Each structure stands twice: as C-alpha cells, then as structure tokens.
Amino acid sequence: MKTATNKTKFIFVTGGVVSSLGKGTIAASIARLLKNSKNKVFLQKIDPYLNVDPGTISPAQHGEVFVTQDGAETDLDIGHYERMTNVELNKYSNITAGKIYSRLIEDERQGKFLGQTVQVIPHLSSSIVNAILGTVEKKDYDYMIVEIGGTVGDIELDPFIEALREIGLLLDKKQVLYIHTVLLPYLPITKELKTKPAQHSTRTLNQQGIHPNFIMCRSSVPIEKELLSKIAFFCNIKKENVFACEDAKSIYHVPLFLENQDIMLKIYNHFKVRKPVAEFKDFNNIISFIDNDKTKKIKIVLVGKYTESSDTYLSICESIKHSGFAAEVNVELKMVNSDSINEENIGEIISSHYGVIIPGGFGDRGIDGKIIAIKHCRENNIPILGICLGMQLMAVEFARNVLNLKNANSTEFDAHTQYPIINILEECDDKKVGHGGTLRLGNFNCEIKSDTQAFKIYNNNNITERHRHRYEFNNDFREQFEDNGLVCSGINTENQLVEILELPKNNFFIGCQFHPEFKSRPNTPSPLFYGLIEIVKKQNHLKE
Ligand code: GLN
C-alpha cells in the first residue's frame, strides 16, 4: 500500500441525507478559493457505480459526459471543477468503482496476490487508497480535493469511506481534512428547517471511523446561527466549523458565500498553514456580470433529445451563460424535444428572433425533428450552431435539400444509404473495437481557413478543441458541398477530417465536429457560443 507520498494536503468531501446536494460545487468552490491564493490544486471525483466510466450511461440517467483534454469520459462534476477553477483536469480526475474493481480482478487473475484470499478489506480498500494517493505521486499539487459521489450509508459507498478512513491514518493529521455535506429539509407547514437527518448521516459517518472536521449545511432557505450551533453540538464538532450553504443565485456565487464565513482561514488553520493573500478580482468580475441588471434579453432554443433535465446538456447551458455574461445579455434558454417538432409547428417553435443550438447525441431517435429545425434555420437565415451530431445533421440536411441527394444520411442511422454523407471512423467502429472508450476522444487540432466566419470568430488559424464521436464527414462529398456553398472552414490536417462547416451566405450557420462547450469558462467564453449570442443580440437590435 502507498504511504504518505508528498506534502499534498487532502480535502475529502462526502455527502449525506440525499444525493444531488451540490457537493461538486462545494468542492470546486473550495478549490477555486485555494487557487485564488496561487495554490496548485487538483480535483478528483470518486463515483461508486460499477460502470468503468460514465461514457456508457444514458445521459437521461446520469447527465452529461464531460470530456477532458486527454480524452477521458468523466462525470459532469469534472466540468464544474474545470469551469470554477480553470484548471485543466485529466483521466485521473474521475475514478469509478468499476475501474477499481476491474483492475483488482485483473490483478487477481494474473496471480498478483500470491495465494491470498482477495477481500473487500483490505484489498479493495487499499486499491482505492492507492488510486487516490497515486494521483499525487510525483506531482507538486499543494491541495487535492476529492469528492465522493453518492450518499453516506449507501452499501456501495462503504469501501470508499473505509479508504478515506485509512488515508487519515496513513497521512499526517495536518494533511487531511474531512468535509461532510448535508441537507436540512424545510417543512413548509411548520416553517422550519430540520436537523435530524444531518445528525443521523454524520453519525453513520462516525460509525465508519470518520469524524468530519467541517459540516456544510445545504438548504433552500437562510439558516439561523442557532441551528448551526445545534448541529455542531449534536455532531460533535466546533460550531465555527459548521457552514451555512443556502441555495445561491448561481454556482459562481458559492466561493464568496463560503469565504464570507471565513472558510479559508479555517482550512488553513486546520492544515497549520498561514493564510496567504488571495486575489478575487477575476471572480468579482464574473459575479458583477451575473448581478448586473441586463436590459437586453435574447432567446436560444436548444433542440435536443433529453430535455427533461438540464444536466444532460450542462456544459452547453453553462457556455450559453458565460457568453451571456460577456455579451451583457440575459439569455433565456428554451429546451425543445426534437420528437415534438414537425413541418407544421417549426415556425411557432423557432421564431426569427431566436438563435438555435443542435447539441451532440447518439442514436436515431429525434433525428427528423432536428433536421426540420436545421432546414428552417437555413432557409430563414436564423443563427444556428450545430455541435457534433448537430454538425453531422446539418451536412445531411444540406445534402438532402440543397444537393438533392435523396435519402442521404449518416451510416449511424442508415448503414446502407446510397449517400453516406457521414461515415464511421474506421478506428472507432464499435462492432470491431468494442463499445466503451473507443470513440475519437479529447483534444485534436483544427486548422481554420482565413476569410471564413470561423476565422473571424476564433481570430486564429489554429485551434484545439475536445471531441467525442465515432462518425465523421465523408470527404468524398466535400467538393460537391463546397461547389454548392457549404464551406469546410476547419480541417484536422493530420487526418483530413472536417472539423467545421459553415454557410457563408447565412449570418450564422455553423457546425463543428468538436464540443466547444467543454472549454468555455465564465470569464473566457467559448468563441462559437459567444459568436452565436452576439449575432442574435445584433439581429434583435436591428429588428427592434
Ligand atoms: N453519434 C455521433 C458520432 O458518434 C455524434 C456524437 C456526438 O454528438 N457526440 O459521431
């Protein structure tokens, strides 16, 4: 088993009472505050499910899959971490039970345990310890923030909590801080917040050998000081270490909300480190953008497949907000299920004042509605951004309705189409290479042609963006497309893959094979989203 590795300090964030408490936002906010004092931080999310990564889980169940620069398919919390801290994370940022178990069983099959009985404790728990401590090995991180997914008390979480307990023993006391996040439910009938579930959850954690140093109390209404003291008393921790964490106006308000309760001083005191000077300018700018009363409103319609929860398209939703901050407009996002779209209602759904986004996706459900939306935007010069599948469908629509290639399609939806406008990438063919983690993933370069809309938007000939796809634009059709006005303005020159398509005759009809949403940050919005928002703002202004 690994022992104390270096001087990296660990902050573990657990959750109790319910899931979806916003532990990720709390972990990211603390990381951001640490980074404001020039500390080198790294973040990690541990998910107790048995999938090796979330790439194979339906977004309707688990939300978006966030892709890191090195091509890992990770939990959406990694996106929160990157956006909040502006630290580029990697495949070590997301560990799942599936990853740990499969490696352990592989080792067992290779005889690495030399006749031992392989057990949850100590073998599984020490694999988890090694995965956490191994991440900081040979790295110079000052702080590593580790968020444990799920809810304390869940059976599947037990080996992970045990690993956190063991790390507390292995490392110096001054190197580990445990933060437990709990919910205080509000009872509208008696108009009070209840603390009992928080007490029980903390007791469960205590029984597993962990005594949290801090408790974060989430609630939908402001929390009285007496209530925090009550929780401190019953959970056996100092009252100044119980924090109120009420619903905030935006996630970007959370770091300062916590800092107003002196969280950093308390963290540094715990680690016996003198509190360094912190720089808040960047962050204050973001907050003032958000708080600034914006008079101008614009509407963006997202035509997607899973529109019940915004988690499915989380990074896109955040990217739109970032661009709205910079363009000083209030962006209202309307999610439309593409299944509900038809030729008759499209005019009502997408007015000429709006901007449209067709996000990425897999599988043929909802494709027809998206194609109808694309056609409507193309014919009426309505600004539209197609992302990954969105770009592929823009190409299919153009082939069918402008090039008159009847039944043109992507081979994802019609393997035998006469006009395979979008084709499978050989090396990603899941029939040959299997399903999990076999897409074209992560950072790839794109060369942008000068004198194109894409060039104006990026103001650069060379960009790098993140990818997650199996299919590509079929170069056999490139000439035919370009002869008819659809320009391939961005190309990956190493593999001759089309990365950006645009229709110069429209104000904004742009598709990208990559996912620009993964690189958007609150104070540096993604150029493509910003470009879209600016065009919509300008068009609305002219129509006023
Ligand atoms: N299903 C398409 C592909 O695999 C698009 C993927 C996506 O939108 N992320 O190429």
pLDDT digits (tens, 9 = 90+) for 397-427: 999 999 999 999 999 999 999 999 999 987 7
Averaged pLDDT for residues 291-318: 89
Per the residue annotation, which of 388, 446, 488, 512 is the catalytic one? 388
Say what the alpha-carbon torsion angle 362, 363, 365, 370 is, to the nearest 10 degrees.
50
How much is the pLDDT for 426?
78
Cβ contact 227:195 at 8 Å:
yes
Q: What whole-number percentage of the chain has pLDDT above 70?
A: 98
d(CA 39, CA 143): 7
Flag whether 25 is in a domain: yes
Residue 174's domain spans which residues?
A: 9-285
State yes or no: is 488 an active-site residue. Answer: no
pLDDT in tens, 51-84: 999 988 988 888 999 999 999 999 999 999 999 9
Atom of ligand 1 nearest to the CA of 468: 9
Residues contacting ligand 1 via CB (< 6 Å): 360-362, 388-389, 412, 468-471
Asked whether the beta carbons of 218 and 184 are under 8 A apart, the reply is yes
Alpha carbon nearest to ligand 1 atom 9, residue? 360
Name the token pair of 204: 């469960």
Confidence of residue 121 (pLDDT cuts 50, 70, 90): very high
**Do the beta carbons of residue 243 and residue 258 sit within 8 Å?**
yes
Q: Is residue 2 part of a domain?
A: no
Residues 6+ apart with CB under 8 A from 500: 391, 446, 448, 454, 488, 489, 490, 510, 511, 512, 513
Closest CA to 223 of 183, 260, 263: 183
Task: Give me the amino acid identity at 327.
Answer: A
CA 425 to ligand 1 center in whole angstroms: 11
pLDDT digits 0-9 by tens, 224-255: 999 999 999 999 999 999 999 999 989 999 99
Q: Active-site residue 515, yes or no?
A: yes
Ligand 1 center–CA 152 separation, angstroms: 36
- Average of pLDDT values for 123-152? 95
- Say what percent of the chain tops pLDDT 90: 85
Give CA separation, 4 vs 138, 160, 190, 206, in Å: 12, 18, 50, 23
278 in any annotated domain: yes
Please report the pLDDT score of residue 313 as a whole number: 95
- Write down the catalytic residue from 73, 499, 517, 534: 517
Nearest protein Cα to ligand 1, atom 1: 362
Average pLDDT score, the chain: 94
For ligand 1, atom 8, name the residue with the nearest CA: 360
Which of 235, 270, 285 is at the close of a domain? 285
- Domain match, 258 and 314 both: no
Stretch 290-294: mean pLDDT: 78
**Structure tokens, 382:** 């309505």
Residues 236 and 305 both lie in one domain: no
- Among residues 285, 313, 337, the one where a domain terminates is 285
**What is residue 288's predicted lDDT score, i.e. its pLDDT?**
86
* Closest Cα to atom 5 of ligand 1: 389
Q: 110 in a domain, yes or no?
A: yes
**For residue 1, is it within any domain?**
no
- In terms of domains, do 472 and 508 share one? yes
pLDDT in tens, 174-224: 899 999 999 999 999 999 999 999 999 999 999 999 999 999 999 999 999
Annotate 236-270 with three-state secondary structure.
CCCHHHEEEEECCCCHHHHHHHHHCCCHHHHHHHH
**Structural domain total, the chain:** 2
Which amino acid, one-letter code, is at 250?
S
What is the reported pLDDT for 438?
79
Q: Cβ distance 211 to 236 under 8 Å?
A: yes
Q: Which residue has the higher pLDDT, 5 or 294?
A: 294
Q: Is 388's pLDDT higher than 70?
A: yes
Over 70: is that where the pLDDT of 5 sits?
A: no
Q: Answer yes or no: do 297 and 266 share one domain.
A: no
Can you give the pLDDT at residue 280?
86
Closest CA to 357 of 119, 536, 202: 536
- CA–CA separation, 32 vs 506, rounded Å? 41
Residue 3 resides in a domain = no
Task: Give the 3-state secondary structure of residue 233.
Answer: helix
Catalytic residue among 166, 376, 515, 534: 515
Kindly state whether residues 144 and 236 are assigned to the same domain.
yes
DSSP 8-state class, residue 324: H
Q: Where are the beta strands (DSSP E) in 347-470?
A: 355-358, 384-387, 409-410, 420-424, 440-448, 462-469
Is position 380 within any domain? yes
- pLDDT of the residue at 281: 86
Give residue 394 CA to ligand 1 midpoint distance, Å. Answer: 13
Active site residue 416: no
- CA 537 to ligand 1 center in whole angstroms: 29
State the distance from the centre of ligand 1 to the C-alpha of 388, rounded, in angstroms: 6
Asked if residues 312 and 66 have their Cβ atoms less than 8 Å apart, the reply is no
pLDDT tens profile 421-475: 999 987 777 777 777 777 899 999 999 999 999 999 999 999 999 999 999 999 9
- Does one domain contain both 233 and 93? yes
Residue identifier of the C-alpha nearest atom 6 of ligand 1:
469
Helix H, strand E, coil C: the string for 421-445 is: EEEECHHHCHHHHCCCCCCEEEEEE
Residue showing tokens 């398209």: 313
pLDDT grade, residue 539 (50/70/90)? Answer: confident
Return the pLDDT at 401.
97
Distance of CA 388 to the CA centre of its chain: 16
Q: How far is the CA of 360 from the centre of ligand 1 (A)?
A: 6
The SS3 of residue 500 is: strand
Tell me how far apart the alpha carbons of residues 43 and 132 are, in angstroms, rounded to a whole number.
11
Paired sense of beta strands 355-358 and 297-304, if any: parallel
Same-domain status, 370 and 249? no
Same domain, 268 and 305: no
Does position 1 have pLDDT exceeding 70, yes or no? no
CA distance from start to end of the chain: 67
CATH code of 497's domain: 3.40.50.880
Angstrom distance (rounded) from CA 354 to CA 364 = 26
The CA-based angle 73-75-77, given to 5 degrees, is 135
Q: Note the pLDDT of residue 540.
A: 82
Same domain, 118 and 56: yes
Do residues 192 and 54 share a domain?
A: yes
Tell me what pLDDT residue 425 has: 83
Same domain, 181 and 327: no
In the chain, count of helices (H) and strands (E)? 19, 23
Q: Is residue 436 classed exposed, middle or buried when 0-12, 13-18 and 19+ CB atoms within 10 A define those classes?
A: middle
Strand pairing report for 330-337 and 297-304:
parallel
CA atoms within 13 A on the CB side of 7: 7
Question: Among the three residues 252, 285, 318, which one is the final residue of a domain in this structure?
Answer: 285
Å from CA of 514 to ligand 1 middle: 9
- 191 & 107 share domain: yes
* Length of the chain counted residue by residue: 544
Q: What are the phi and psi torsion angles at 95 (to 5°)?
A: -115, 135
Q: What CATH number has the domain bearing residue 281? A: 3.40.50.300
Output the pLDDT for position 494. 92
